[in-house]
Chain A
């Protein structure tokens, strides 16, 4: 009798243990099977979720932002490496578009198109879009690129293997391989500064205040107010990168 009882309770235990392990494995598998879907979620509702606004109407193309960024973030001076840069678009009367960005705009711009041929001209500052569904974060094979709890896309330089897949994956051309550190590099929204409550170097140095960053989750923040009052657009919306860089007065020529 006693033997039978022990056996039956053992059987019961084994049964429930098996069910539990199947459930655990199944749950883990289901959870990890979301690997095909890539999106950063705000982890902590109390933390800010940063977005950026660039007002094209205010940019005068002085290039101070790009210069300040290089100084602040140890970006090589050569014209092949930029965390932020400025482009000049000139739409001609014949409909063709001329785009230039000599040295990322750091030395300013000289209009090369004769005045009488110009339909319109404007400057577009570029930087990392800190996408919520960032393709660069998605493809990093080791997870050296990651999204901070505040929605800032960052790189762990001690971890990056330099495969360059992220550079290929960024549709905005915002990444490069740092020639001395030999790892991927990009705009961090000056994470080291914003954590201390300071503005990123490019925004600090913009003479016209055409760049702004802020907490998208705070309905009273300046950035949310701006987004409410203006018609803004992100770059390449068709790619669904979840870009958090909103442009005011973005013209259709810009990609």
Chain B
């Protein structure tokens, strides 16, 4: 099939100043925006879960399993936008078989597998084993076998074994926290280590990614907790929301501070690329950076969350505010991913001009596909919540 260059001619006509001829086409599109967003949700949701487990925040207990299952649902999808973005996806396995030692990207498969197999799956398994054994006894037909297979045949539920389940689960959570930090800090490093790109190249990038990941994961779990409670027609516990809101507030402050520091540093040092980046943020990134990421995703949530630290009035109002803030923060973090990934490719490395980006609706890297990768985890989560309902778990004496 003859490639169609029509869209490239349009971009060429819309480019400003001088860009290197090979730079007209953006290499990383909307799927690469989705990828760090999804991975961030995984890391953030897991860290929220560990707050309950390791730091013994008992108020958060109702969100613990929801957070773990949310992390798993998004993690299962995390690699798919990446692989579907490769132009030779059938060779993707080469990255595992012959990883190139000096490439930041080469380690992704291993970090991912470690996190999936060693951290998340094991932790969920230890957490649910007791319940799955009980469910396997209660259920009939195929479900009996499903749970039996899920227990991997280990049906011993003597108190001593259960204590070991708890201990090992705890140990994995402790290992899991640095793993979550590595998983997402590492995603930041993929961008932060590209010295050719001044918009990306900063040692703060992994930390920025990590904190924005926590912000987004916490918001997502909060929203899912609210929606799940609504669907189950259970009253949600306002103390849980207040507690999550408090964590969200503090992490958002940290996130805002570090991102602010990054920008102030750029402006003050005003290196070679400064004029170009100034034009970029004042022009093509104005809406997504200042309005969407800054105002909607950070400033407004910060003000409202600060207000909610003191205001303990009407519960209904607080719930509504938390819901709105959750959505705003997610919009903000998605915009942040956009600003990094797309923003970093809009200016020429000649620092003399800009290309432009138009997302198509259809196609493998179009909006619909990106939306699909963003919706799919919710489908997986619904399935997991049906298979492993946290509210039907066997309550253990502690």
Contact = CB atoms under 8 A, between A and B. Distances in A.
Interface of A: 32, 35-36, 38, 76, 78-82, 85, 87, 97-101, 104, 126, 135, 137-143, 159-165, 167-177, 179-180, 182-183, 238-239, 255
B22 A175 contact: yes
Which of A139, A167, A182 has the largest number of chain B CB atoms within 10 A? A139
A238 B101 CA distance: 25
A177 B193 CA distance: 21
A32 B94 contact: no
Given A161-B91, A162-B87, A165-B105, A80 B100 contact: no
A171 B195 contact: yes
B195 A168 contact: no
B277 to A, nearest CB: 14
A173 B194 contact: no
Contacts of A172: 20, 349
A5 to B, nearest CB: 45
A42 B91 CA distance: 30
A176 B352 contact: no
B196 A169 contact: yes
A239 B22 contact: no
A140 B195 contact: no
B103 A168 contact: no
Interface in B81-120: 85-89, 91-92, 94-95, 98-106, 108
B94 A142 contact: yes
A163 B86 contact: yes
12 contacts: A35-B102, A80-B12, A85-B20, A85-B21, A87-B18, A100-B18, A135-B195, A139-B102, A161-B86, A163-B105, A182-B87, A238-B272
Interface string B293-326: 0000000000000000000000000000000000
Question: For this complex, into which size category does the number of interface residues on chain B fall?
Answer: 35 or more
Contacts of B85: 163
A255 B86 contact: no
B170 interface: no
A171 B349 contact: yes
A87 B348 CA distance: 14
B17 to A, nearest CB: 8
A82 B21 contact: yes
Contacts of B86: 161-163
Contact of A255 (B22, B105, B349): B349
Given A80-B8, A101-B18, A177-B27, A141 B99 contact: yes
A142 B99 contact: yes
B351 interface: yes
A143 B100 contact: yes
Contacts of A87: 18
A78 B88 contact: no
A179 B108 CA distance: 26
A239 B27 contact: no
Contacts, number: 141
A167 B27 contact: yes
A105 to B, nearest CB: 9
B23 interface: yes
Given A142-B94, A173-B20, A179-B3, A168 B27 contact: yes
Contacts of A141: 95, 99-100, 103, 105-106, 108
Given A141-B108, A168-B345, 7 more contacts: A142-B103, A159-B94, A172-B349, A173-B350, A177-B27, A179-B3, A183-B88
Nearest to B82: A163
Interface string B10-50: 00100001111111110110000000000000000000000
A118 B234 CA distance: 75
Contact of A161 (B95, B196, B349, B351): B95
Nearest to A33: B101
Given A99-B350, A161-B95, A168 B88 contact: no
Contacts of B104: 139
B197 interface: yes
Contacts of B349: 170-173, 255
Which of A38, A138, A161 has the largest number of chain B CB atoms within 10 A? A161
B92 A171 contact: no
Contacts of B87: 161-162, 164, 177, 182-183
B106 A160 contact: no
B196 A170 contact: yes
B2 to A, nearest CB: 9
A255 B352 contact: yes
Contact of B194 (A76, A140, A162, A169): A169
A100 B16 CA distance: 11
B5 interface: yes
Q: What are the nearest 4 A-B pairs in CB distance?
A: A162-B87, A173-B20, A171-B196, A99-B18
A126 B20 CA distance: 10
Which of B103, B195, B272 has the largest number of chain A CB atoms within 10 A? B103
B352 A165 contact: no
B28 A255 contact: no
B94 A81 contact: no
B101 A142 contact: no
A80 B21 contact: yes
Which of A99, A100, A180 has the largest number of chain B CB atoms within 10 A? A99
